[in-house]
Chains A and B, each alone.
Chain A
Amino acid sequence: SQKIEQNSEALNIQEGKTATLTCNYTNYSPAYLQWYRQDPGRGPVFLLLIRENEKEKRKERLKVTFDTTLKQSLFHITASQPADSATYLCALDYGGQNFVFGPGTRLSVLP
């Protein structure tokens, strides 16, 4: 079965630095890879989607890369702020109703 790993369970960085979160998977690559933000006690919120034939996608301070050779996606937050502190989930979307969520990385941006 598909296995997803997201770097460490928790990541602490200093305000103003770039946060880099990793999503690694086994088996075959998905058609789409999505990133979500989840605050404590809340439902996840969609951030970005990248297709298997795209190398990079940007949205404001967010950047996502997708390397199907390495079976890895990187999620970057530049000029990080304490308000960026949350859990970030990656999700593999194989099309139709076939998708899998990773366990998440809890990011803490320290002032």
Chain B
Amino acid sequence: SQTIHQWPATLVQPVGSPLSLECTVEGTSNPNLYWYRQAAGRGLQLLFYSVGIGQISSEVPQNLSASRPQDRQFILSSKKLLLSDSGFYLCAWRPGLASYEQYFGPGTRLTVT
């Protein structure tokens, strides 16, 4: 069966510090991968998606970036965090365009102080 992992689970970082969140998927190959951010009381905001290694599409201009160095690994990064980057970050995958539901990871709670 497929599983998705995210780490760390929680993170407190000062403004201006770098960020690296990691997501890995097991039990599947060539998944579509997604990074979302969820602010309190708001819906999921799609940040990045990837359909293959090295292929990243950005949905929202911001100080965040994403990379996919391996088939089942997706990384969200920032060189300098802003207060507005605080939120709940979720990684998700789906098998491909033929399957429409998404499978989410446990999330990372980021607090920028």
Identify the A interface with B (CB < 8 A): 4, 9, 32, 34, 41-46, 49, 89, 91, 93, 95-97, 99-104
* Residue of B32, B43, B105 touching A97 (CB-CB under 8 A): B32
Are B104 and A103 touching (Cβ within 8 A)? no
Q: Which of B12-20, B61-69, B78-86, B94-102 contacts A (4 or more CB under 8 A)?
A: B94-102
Q: How far is the CA of A77 from the CA of B106 in the complex (A)?
A: 25
Closest Cβ–Cβ distance, residue B29 to chain A (whole Å): 19
* Residue of B41, B49, B57, B106 touching A43 (CB-CB under 8 A): B106
Are A34 and B101 touching (Cβ within 8 A)? yes
Identify the B interface with A (CB < 8 A): 32, 36, 41-44, 46, 49, 51, 57, 88, 90, 92, 97, 100-107, 109
Known contacts A41-B107, A44-B104, A45-B104; is-contact A103 B90 (Cβ 8 Å): no
Closest Cβ–Cβ distance, residue A23 to chain B (whole Å): 11
* Residue of A41, A93, A103 touching B42 (CB-CB under 8 A): A103
Are B44 and A49 touching (Cβ within 8 A)? no
